[in-house]
């Protein structure tokens, strides 16, 4: 069809095509040309022609405005026009308007048929309002559509979506809002045909026609809710089952089921955490001669990711390959995620490499997989590749990549991403905000973290935990505890991780009684079984306070098997309090469960060195060598003008090496005048005092600090990150340095933050 055919007779042909063979019109352009053609010769097309054109328009994207204009020319829109309008609204994401139009259609006396219900039900699923959904279900039943295949499939999907939308903080709408939306012709739309009369909308009639409450009652008798009074604590579980019970009821009443029906139930169960039900439906579907397709497989793969079941996951992967589904982006994404959750990144990367086409979600999968497995640099590389490939990042992309910045302490990257997030208007997404809070906190910028936290609209458990952990990590224990109390007052239930944060705060401030109080609160009131991290925080606290026996008994009486890292916290306590006997006993425990624990070797060596037991130091060194263990060199890094500078003790390759040494020497003189006495006790080498002092002042954090002093202007805070713990002497030394240079120095080591200012550190004696 071309625009050159302009005679009246050919217009008649076009109209016949429109009415009888609309499927021959395959493009938006053709549809618009047809519209223009009709206008040229027929100033007043019949309602059936307009409806047919409207139906055609609703097949294409970005024609909503044209559809609305066309619709407005109709004084009494026939069913086809209504259905097309509703379809247009839904396909353009105007779900509220879609349902409202359905209500208006009913108010105008037109009857819905089996074609329109699936679309309306889909809109309702997106709106996430249960009451509205039940009303629509009532309408389905009263119009005799409760045996229609497509309608039932849409109904099941709708019920299964209510929970997951609510859980994700998706916007919730109510039937009330649908009514508010009904007088939707707010002017500004002018007709192509001119001379449109404004029609009155009878809102009362609309209200009568849907009768939400009455329908809800009707639905209650048809779909009785399970009265599962198993307990208040499992309220969430029960709620979840109520929706899935409705899905099952629809499923069981269906006279005929197709693959979509099965897939809808399986996906619904999987998405609502009912994994066993989903898997039993998968088996049952085979008994009913239904062969799983790519939809089925991509729905069940997340279950094996959650179960960390690589065997079953690989079975599905094999099935996908045998059936030619392995090029499917949906299956690819869930496969990458499954392998990543099973810590099999090689397999995950291979799936990614073999995927012929990638969309935003498959990029997210590989990025999240890398970051979750500690491959932060690779994650960032994929993120850049994604941008290069012109794939627009989604909110999920940012919450996946931000932890990489937090882990690497690359504040400049995190800030850059934050800028991108603000420009994309994603900054009120609670997932992203939580990851930003964590990133800023982990980069030592607790004020910005708090600023972002304060601007989150509704805090959830994770965002509370992020800020509490942020304060705890940064040494602001009392803020952390106060925030925890605020969280309780707001009625947000703390979880396992929240208590790790609270106990970390206590350990940072030496609040032993408080810590026990929270430990008991967690176990007794919240019924959370303490994990390794909780025990570690408590043992750390007791150890630092010198209550070594108490810590030893705590770890010995744990209800789970302690790992080397739990014992290691106590070993560190033994070092601080110079208890050689207990240190040996604890180290023995560690070597029993973890013979290659580097930390244990290093700390025990420190303990021996402090006691001048050089033979034991040598024995340990020989033992390490025999096992092929090499001490990981201490490394510190600092960000200066968006570039990360890394320093290793004794490394003289840095261009500023000489200037750094001069600065350190000048500083040392000033420090000694202020009263600094080097603590050479932990120097592992049996050398003279002067050499020990020289070794101490070449520790990597001091090189990084000196570099920071040289290359930034006066008053700028210095942020240092170290891969291992800051030693006792450096801790003392940095206090002096902060006073002398009048700067805030923030040092993050693998376990906590130290904010030095004016000769003091936030962690006080509990370094």
Partner DNA sequence: ATAGGGTTAG
Residue placing its CB nearer to DNA in the complex, 436 or 570? 436
Residue placing its CB nearer to DNA in the complex, 340 or 638? 340
Distance from C-alpha of 310 to C-alpha of 342, rounded to nearest angstrom: 6
Q: Which of 141, 394, 512, 576 binds DNA (CB under 7 A)?
A: 394
We find the least distance from the C-beta atom of residue 431 to DNA, in angstroms, to be: 4
**In the window 64-83, what residues touch DNA (CB under 7 A)?**
80, 83
> Nearest CA to 587 among 559, 619, 612, 560?
619
Q: Do residues 114 and 148 touch, judged by C-beta distance below 8 A?
A: yes
**In the window 396-455, what residues touch DNA (CB under 7 A)?**
396, 399-400, 402-403, 406, 429-432, 434-435, 438
Q: Per CB under 7 A, which region of 205-213, 394-402, 555-563, 619-627 contacts DNA?
A: 394-402
We find the least distance from the C-beta atom of residue 546 to DNA, in angstroms, to be: 29
**In the window 603-632, what residues touch DNA (CB under 7 A)?**
none
> Nearest CA to 635 among 723, 558, 538?
723
- Strand partners of residue 755: 746
Q: Which of 13, 220, 359, 549 binds DNA (CB under 7 A)?
A: 359
Return all residues near 588 (Cβ < 8 A) that are at least 6 apart: none
DSSP alpha helix (H) spans, 21-148: 28-41, 47-57, 64-72, 79-91, 95-107, 117-127, 130-142
Q: Which of 427, 460, 550, 594 binds DNA (CB under 7 A)?
A: 460
345-354 vs 329-341: helix axis angle to the nearest 10? Answer: 170
352 binds DNA (CB under 7 A): no
We find the least distance from the C-beta atom of residue 532 to DNA, in angstroms, to be: 16
We find the least distance from the C-beta atom of residue 465 to DNA, in angstroms, to be: 4
We find the least distance from the C-beta atom of residue 717 to DNA, in angstroms, to be: 22
We find the least distance from the C-beta atom of residue 110 to DNA, in angstroms, to be: 12
Q: What is the phi/psi pair of residue 748, to 5°?
A: -110, 125
Site string for DNA, 503-542 (x = CB under 7 A): ----------------------------------------
**In the window 259-318, what residues touch DNA (CB under 7 A)?**
259-261, 263-264, 267, 270-271, 293-299, 301-302, 305
We find the least distance from the C-beta atom of residue 657 to DNA, in angstroms, to be: 36
Residue placing its CB nearer to DNA in the complex, 119 or 680? 119
Three-state DSSP class for 630?
A: coil
Question: Token pair of 749, please?
Answer: 């080591």
Q: Which of 11, 98, 119, 698 binds DNA (CB under 7 A)?
A: 119
Distance from C-alpha of 142 to C-alpha of 436, rounded to nearest angstrom: 50
Size of the site for DNA (CB under 7 A): 88
**In the window 462-491, what residues touch DNA (CB under 7 A)?**
462-463, 465-466, 469
Q: Do residues 282 and 291 touch, judged by C-beta distance below 8 A?
A: no
The answer for 631, left when phi > 0, alpha when psi is -120 to 50, beta otherwise, is beta
Residue placing its CB nearer to DNA in the complex, 376 or 574? 376
Residue placing its CB nearer to DNA in the complex, 466 or 538? 466
Q: Per CB under 7 A, which region of 198-206, 253-261, 527-535, 630-638 contacts DNA?
A: 253-261
Residue placing its CB nearer to DNA in the complex, 122 or 575? 122
Residue placing its CB nearer to DNA in the complex, 138 or 302? 302
We find the least distance from the C-beta atom of residue 341 to DNA, in angstroms, to be: 7
**In the window 90-109, what residues touch DNA (CB under 7 A)?**
90
> CB-hemisphere CA count at 13 Å for 392?
6
Residue placing its CB nearer to DNA in the complex, 349 or 737? 349
Q: Tokens 């994770």 belong to which residue?
A: 462
We find the least distance from the C-beta atom of residue 150 to DNA, in angstroms, to be: 4
Residue placing its CB nearer to DNA in the complex, 469 or 548? 469
Site string for DNA, 131-170 (x = CB under 7 A): ------------------xx--xx--x---x------x--
**In the window 320-339, what residues touch DNA (CB under 7 A)?**
325, 328-334, 337
Residue placing its CB nearer to DNA in the complex, 148 or 540? 148
We find the least distance from the C-beta atom of residue 151 to DNA, in angstroms, to be: 7
Site string for DNA, 1-40 (x = CB under 7 A): ----------------------x-----------------
Residue placing its CB nearer to DNA in the complex, 164 or 712? 164
Q: Which helix (H) or strand (E) holds 643?
A: strand 643-648
We find the least distance from the C-beta atom of residue 11 to DNA, in angstroms, to be: 24
Residue placing its CB nearer to DNA in the complex, 88 or 680? 88
Long-range pairs for 361-364: beta carbons < 8 A, 24 or more residues apart: 361/329, 361/333, 361/394, 361/396, 362/329, 362/332, 362/333, 362/336, 363/389, 363/391, 363/397, 364/333, 364/394, 364/396, 364/397, 364/400
We find the least distance from the C-beta atom of residue 83 to DNA, in angstroms, to be: 5
We find the least distance from the C-beta atom of residue 119 to DNA, in angstroms, to be: 5
We find the least distance from the C-beta atom of residue 178 to DNA, in angstroms, to be: 19
Residue placing its CB nearer to DNA in the complex, 523 or 681? 523
We find the least distance from the C-beta atom of residue 227 to DNA, in angstroms, to be: 28
Return all residues near 637 (Cβ < 8 A) that are at least 6 apart: 409, 644, 645, 646, 647, 704, 720, 721
Three-state DSSP class for 449?
A: helix
> Nearest CA to 567 among 523, 597, 610?
597
> Nearest CA to 132 among 109, 107, 98?
98
Distance from C-alpha of 84 to C-alpha of 90, rounded to nearest angstrom: 10
Q: Which of 49, 114, 412, 654 binds DNA (CB under 7 A)?
A: 114
Three-state DSSP class for 622?
A: helix
Q: What angle do CA 478, 484, 487 make, to 5 degrees?
A: 145
Residue placing its CB nearer to DNA in the complex, 261 or 507? 261
We find the least distance from the C-beta atom of residue 660 to DNA, in angstroms, to be: 34
Q: Do residues 735 and 705 touch, judged by C-beta distance below 8 A?
A: no
Three-state DSSP class for 26?
A: coil
Q: Which helix (H) or strand (E) holds 349?
A: helix 345-354
Residue placing its CB nearer to DNA in the complex, 161 or 702? 161
Distance from C-alpha of 709 to C-alpha of 743, rounded to nearest angstrom: 9
Residue placing its CB nearer to DNA in the complex, 190 or 359? 359
Q: Is the dihedral of CA 348, 349, 351, 357 positive or negative?
A: positive
């Amino acid at each position: 069809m071309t625009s050159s055919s302009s005679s009246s007779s050919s217009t008649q042909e076009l109209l016949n095509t429109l009415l009888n063979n609309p499927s021959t019109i395959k493009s938006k352009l053709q549809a618009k040309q047809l519209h223009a053609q009709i206008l040229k010769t027929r100033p007043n097309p019949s309602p059936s022609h307009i409806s047919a054109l409207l139906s055609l328009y609703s097949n294409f994207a970005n024609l909503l405005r044209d559809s609305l204009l066309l619709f407005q020319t109709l004084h009494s829109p026939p069913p086809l026009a209504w259905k097309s309008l509703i379809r247009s609204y839904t396909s353009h994401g105007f779900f509220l308007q879609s349902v409202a139009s359905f209500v208006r259609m009913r108010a105008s006396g037109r009857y819905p048929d089996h074609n329109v219900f699936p679309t309306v039900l889909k809109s309702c699923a997106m709106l996430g309002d249960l009451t509205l959904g039940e009303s629509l279900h009532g309408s389905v039943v009263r119009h005799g559509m409760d045996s229609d295949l497509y309608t039932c499939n849409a109904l099941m999907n709708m019920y299964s979506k209510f929970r997951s939308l609510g859980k994700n903080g998706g916007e919730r709408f109510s039937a009330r809002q649908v009514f508010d939306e009904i007088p939707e012709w707010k002017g500004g739309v002018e007709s192509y045909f001119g001379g449109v009369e404004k029609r009155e909308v009878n809102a009362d009639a609309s209200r009568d026609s849907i009768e939400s409450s009455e329908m809800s009652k009707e639905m209650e008798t048809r779909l009785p809710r399970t009265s599962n009074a198993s307990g208040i604590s499992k309220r969430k579980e029960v709620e979840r089952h109520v929706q899935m019970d409705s899905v099952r009821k629809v499923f069981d009443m269906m006279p005929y089921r197709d693959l979509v029906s099965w897939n809808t139930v399986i996906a619904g169960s999987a998405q609502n955490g009912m994994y066993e039900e989903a898997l039993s439906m998968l088996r049952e579907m085979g008994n009913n001669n239904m062969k799983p397709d790519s939809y089925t497989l991509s729905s069940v793969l997340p279950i094996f990711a959650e179960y960390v079941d690589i065997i079953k996951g690989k079975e599905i992967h094999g099935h996908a390959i045998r059936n030619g589904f392995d090029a499917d982006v949906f299956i690819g994404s869930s496969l990458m995620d499954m392998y990543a959750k099973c810590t099999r990144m090689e397999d995950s990367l291979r799936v990614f490499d073999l995927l012929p086409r990638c969309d935003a979600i498959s990029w997210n999968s590989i990025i999240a997989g890398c970051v979750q497995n500690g491959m932060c640099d690779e994650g960032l590389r994929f993120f850049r590749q994604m941008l290069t490939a012109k794939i627009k990042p989604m909110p999920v992309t940012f919450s996946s990549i931000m932890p990489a910045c937090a882990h690497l302490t690359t504040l400049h990257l995190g800030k850059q991403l934050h800028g991108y997030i603000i420009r994309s208007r994603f900054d009120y997404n609670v997932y992203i905000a939580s990851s930003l809070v964590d990133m800023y906190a982990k980069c030592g910028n607790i004020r910005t973290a708090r600023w972002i936290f304060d601007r989150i609209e509704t805090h959830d458990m994770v965002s509370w935990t992020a800020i509490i952990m942020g304060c705890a990590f940064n040494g602001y224990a009392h803020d952390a505890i106060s925030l925890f109390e605020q969280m309780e007052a707001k009625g947000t239930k703390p979880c396992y991780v929240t208590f790790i944060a609270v106990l970390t705060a206590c350990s940072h401030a030496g609040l032993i009684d408080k810590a026990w109080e929270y430990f008991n609160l967690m176990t007794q009131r919240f019924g959370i079984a303490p994990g390794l991290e909780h025990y570690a925080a408590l043992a750390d606290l007791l150890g630092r306070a010198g209550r070594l026996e108490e810590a030893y008994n705590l770890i010995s009486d744990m209800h789970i098997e302690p790992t080397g890292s739990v014992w290691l916290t106590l070993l560190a306590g033994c070092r601080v309090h110079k208890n050689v006997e207990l240190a040996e006993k604890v180290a023995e425990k560690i070597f029993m469960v973890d013979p290659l624990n580097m930390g244990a070797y290093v700390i025990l060596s420190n303990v021996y060195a402090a006691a001048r037991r050089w033979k034991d130091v040598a024995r340990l060194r020989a033992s390490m060598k025999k096992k092929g263990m090499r001490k990981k060199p201490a490394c510190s890094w600092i960000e200066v003008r968006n570039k990360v500078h890394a320093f290793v003790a004794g490394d003289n390759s840095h261009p500023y090496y000489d200037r750094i040494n001069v600065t350190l020497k000048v500083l040392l003189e000033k420090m000694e005048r202020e009263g600094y006495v080097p603590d050479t006790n932990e120097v592992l080498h049996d050398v003279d005092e002067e050499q020990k002092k020289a070794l101490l002042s070449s520790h990597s954090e001091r090189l990084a600090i000196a570099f920071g002093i040289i290359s930034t202007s006066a008053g700028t805070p210095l942020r240092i990150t170290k891969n291992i713990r800051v030693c006792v002497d450096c801790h003392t030394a940095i206090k002096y340095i902060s006073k002398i240079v009048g700067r805030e120095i923030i040092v993050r080591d693998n376990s906590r933050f130290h904010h030095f200012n004016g000769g003091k550190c936030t962690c006080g004696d509990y370094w």
